[in-house]
């Protein structure tokens, strides 16, 4: 099974070893052909607390760490 990756922006770092990342998904409406943007927030594990607010990061799918945390911080882009 291939592990999924998502790119998003860190919107919260208030929890210990956990970050909240906002991921945008752009797609065209099938009937009206307008480009729509859907956003979703993911909880990700950040072992060393190195991500800061506003950083662009890459998330990697992983085993469940808790009830809602199923992603791990792979890389900080900027």
pLDDT in tens, 35-50: 999 999 999 999 999 9
Pairing of strands 35-45, 69-76: parallel
Domains of the chain: 5-76 (2.40.50.140)
Q: What is the pTM of this model?
A: 0.91
pLDDT in tens, 11-67: 999 999 999 999 999 999 999 999 999 999 999 999 999 999 999 999 999 999 999
Burial readout 12-38 (b: 16 or more C-beta within 10 A, e: otherwise): ebeeeebbbbebeeeeeeeeeeeeeee
């Amino acid at each position: 099974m291939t592990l999924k990756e998502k790119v998003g922006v860190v919107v919260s770092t208030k929890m210990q070893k956990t970050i909240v990342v906002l991921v945008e998904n752009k797609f065209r409406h099938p009937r009206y052909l307008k480009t729509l943007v859907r956003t979703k927030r993911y909880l990700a594990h950040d072992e060393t607390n190195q991500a800061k607010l506003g950083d662009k990061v890459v998330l990697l799918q992983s085993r469940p760490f808790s009830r809602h945390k199923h992603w791990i911080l792979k890389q900080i882009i900027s």
